[in-house]
C-alpha cells in the first residue's frame, strides 16, 4: 500500500464532497437537524397532564384534594365539569387526558372514618403516558388520604402513630428524571449510524454508475487503497459531526457529560469506522446508488432505532429479538454513550461493549476489502 495513491483517492473524494453541496449538507447539516428535531420532539416526560374535575362534594375536603392536583407540576387543571358527558367530550376533543370524579359523600365520609372512592378516568390511547399519569394521580390521592387520617387522629385526641416504614428514594445518574439526558446520547448513536452508512453507501456505487470505475481499474491502485481512500474523508466528516453533536447536547439541551471526553471520541471513532465500512460494503455489493441508499436505510435506521436499547428496553423484548439485538452495533455504542454521559464510567466497566464494537469495525473493514474486486465483473 502506497500513501501517495491512498492520498490521491482521499483527495479526489474530498474534492467531490466539497464540489457537491448536497453531499456536504447530508454529512453535516442533516445530522444536526435530526439531533435538534428529535431532541425536542422525542420526550418521555409526562408533565402538565390536562385535567378536568367533577367535584360532586363541594366541601373543604374535596377542595383540598383538588388543590393537591393543582399544586403538582404533573397536572394542569383545565376546567371543572358537571357530568360524565362533559368528561367524555373533553377527552374526545383532546382538551383533557384525565378526569377526577369526586363523590358527593366525600366530606361526610372523611369525617366519619369511612373510605370514600375517588374515580380517575384516563385516555388510554397512549398507554405509557396514561400509566405515568395514573401513578402521579394515585400519589396525590394517597398523600391527601394520609393527611386526612392524621388530622382525624389529632381531632380525636389520639396519639399520632408514625408510619411503620418510610421510603426515601434517590435516583442515581439522572436525578431529575429528565428523558433528554438519556435520549440525546442515544440519538447521537442512531443518527451517526444512519448518516455514516448513507454517505459511504454511495461512493463505489457512484463510480459504477458514472462509468469512472473503468478508469480506476486501469490504474495501479489496489483494493485496500481505494477502500481507505474513500473512507478517510467521510471519517473526518463523521468526527466533525460528533463534535457538533456533543456541543449541541451540552449547550442546547444541557445534557451533562460526566465521563471522559477522550474516551467518548475514541469510542465514536471506532463506531464510525464500522458504520462507514458497512456503507462501503453496501456500495460495493449493490453497484447502484438508489438501491444502495435504500438498503443502507433499512440496515441502519430501523435496527438502530428499534433494537439498540435507545428507545425500548431490550430486556422487555421477546427472547429471539434479544438475540438479534447482539448483531446491531448501535446497541453497544448506545450503552457506551449512556455509561460515559450519565454514569461517568470508563473502560473498566464498558470494556465488553468497546471490544464488541471494535470487532464489528474490523469485520466490516475486512469484508469491504475482500468484496471489492478490481475488475469489471
Average pLDDT rounded to a whole number, residues 340-347: 91
Any idea which of 91-95, 121-125, 213-217 has the lowest mean pLDDT? 213-217
Residue partners of 370: CB distance under 8 A and separation at least 6? none
Q: Which residue has the cell 453533536?
A: 245
From 4-18, 91-105, 231-245, 253-267, the region with the lowest mean pLDDT: 4-18
Highest average pLDDT, of 45-49, 251-255, 286-290, comes from 251-255
Between CA 48 and CA 74 the distance in angstroms is 5
User: Is residue 364 within 8 Å of 218, Cβ to Cβ?
Assistant: no
Select the more confidently predicted residue: 128 or 221.
Answer: 128
Vertex 366: Cα angle to 362 and 370 (nearest 5):
175
Distance CA 373, CA 210 (A): 18
What pTM, to 2 d.p., does this model score?
0.78
Lowest mean pLDDT among 14-18, 93-97, 320-324: 14-18
Q: What pLDDT sits at residue 243?
A: 92
What DSSP string describes 169-229? ---SS-TT--THHHHHHHHHHHHHHHHHHHHHTTHHHHHHHHTTHHHHHTSS--HHHHHHH
Given this model, what pLDDT does residue 347 score? 92
CB half-sphere exposure, 359, CA atoms < 13 A: 10
Q: Write out the CATH class of domain 49-155.
A: alpha beta
Categorize the per-residue pLDDT at 350 as very low, low, confident or very high, splitting at 50, 70 and 90. very high
Cell of 346: 470508563
pLDDT of residue 293: 81
Parts of the chain belonging to CATH 3.40.1710.10: 49-155
Question: Does pLDDT of 20 surpass 90?
Answer: no
- For the stretch 260-293, pLDDT in tens is 999 999 999 999 999 988 988 888 888 777 888 8
pLDDT digits (tens, 9 = 90+) for 152-187: 777 666 555 555 555 677 778 887 778 888 888 888
Amino acid at each position: 500500500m502506497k500513501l501517495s495513491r491512498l492520498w490521491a483517492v482521499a483527495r479526489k473524494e474530498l474534492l467531490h464532497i466539497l464540489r457537491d453541496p448536497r453531499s456536504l449538507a447530508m454529512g453535516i447539516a442533516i445530522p444536526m437537524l435530526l439531533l435538534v428535531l428529535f431532541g425536542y420532539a422525542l420526550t418521555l416526560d409526562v408533565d402538565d397532564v390536562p385535567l378536568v374535575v367533577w367535584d360532586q362534594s363541594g366541601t373543604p375536603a374535596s377542595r383540598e384534594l383538588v388543590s393537591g392536583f393543582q399544586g403538582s407540576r404533573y397536572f394542569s387543571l383545565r376546567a371543572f365539569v358537571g357530568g360524565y358527558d362533559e368528561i367524555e367530550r373533553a377527552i374526545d376533543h383532546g382538551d383533557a387526558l384525565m378526569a377526577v370524579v369526586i363523590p358527593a359523600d366525600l366530606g361526610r365520609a372523611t369525617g366519619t372514618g369511612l373510605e370514600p372512592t375517588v374515580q380517575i378516568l384516563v385516555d388510554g390511547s397512549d398507554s405509557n403516558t396514561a400509566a405515568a399519569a395514573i401513578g402521579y394521580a394515585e400519589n396525590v390521592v394517597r398523600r391527601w388520604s394520609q393527611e386526612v387520617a392524621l388530622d382525624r387522629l389529632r381531632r380525636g385526641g389520639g396519639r399520632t402513630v408514625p408510619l411503620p416504614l418510610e421510603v426515601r428514594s434517590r435516583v442515581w445518574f439522572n436525578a431529575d428524571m429528565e428523558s433528554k439526558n438519556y435520549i440525546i446520547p442515544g440519538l447521537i448513536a442512531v443518527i451517526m449510524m444512519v448518516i455514516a452508512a448513507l454517505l459511504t453507501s454511495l461512493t463505489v456505487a457512484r463510480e459504477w454508475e458514472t462509468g469512472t470505475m473503468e478508469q480506476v481499474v486501469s490504474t495501479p491502485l489496489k483494493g485496500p487503497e481505494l477502500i481507505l481512500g474513500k473512507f478517510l474523508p467521510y471519517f473526518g466528516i463523521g468526527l466533525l459531526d460528533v463534535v457538533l453533536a456533543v456541543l449541541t447536547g451540552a449547550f442546547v439541551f444541557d445534557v451533562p457529560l460526566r465521563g471522559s471526553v477522550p474516551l467518548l471520541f475514541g469510542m465514536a471513532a471506532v463506531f464510525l469506522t464500522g458504520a462507514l465500512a458497512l456503507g462501503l460494503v453496501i456500495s460495493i455489493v449493490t453497484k447502484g446508488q438508489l438501491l444502495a441508499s435504500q438498503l443502507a436505510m433499512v440496515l441502519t435506521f430501523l435496527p438502530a432505532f428499534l433494537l439498540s436499547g435507545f428507545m425500548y428496553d431490550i430486556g422487555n423484548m421477546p427472547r429471539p429479538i434479544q438475540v438479534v439485538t447482539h448483531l446491531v452495533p448501535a446497541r453497544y455504542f448506545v450503552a457506551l454513550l449512556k455509561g460515559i454521559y450519565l454514569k461517568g464510567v470508563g473502560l473498566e466497566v464498558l470494556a465488553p461493549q468497546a471490544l464488541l464494537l471494535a470487532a464489528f469495525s474490523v469485520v466490516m473493514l475486512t469484508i469491504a476489502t475482500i468484496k471489492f474486486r478490481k475488475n469489471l465483473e
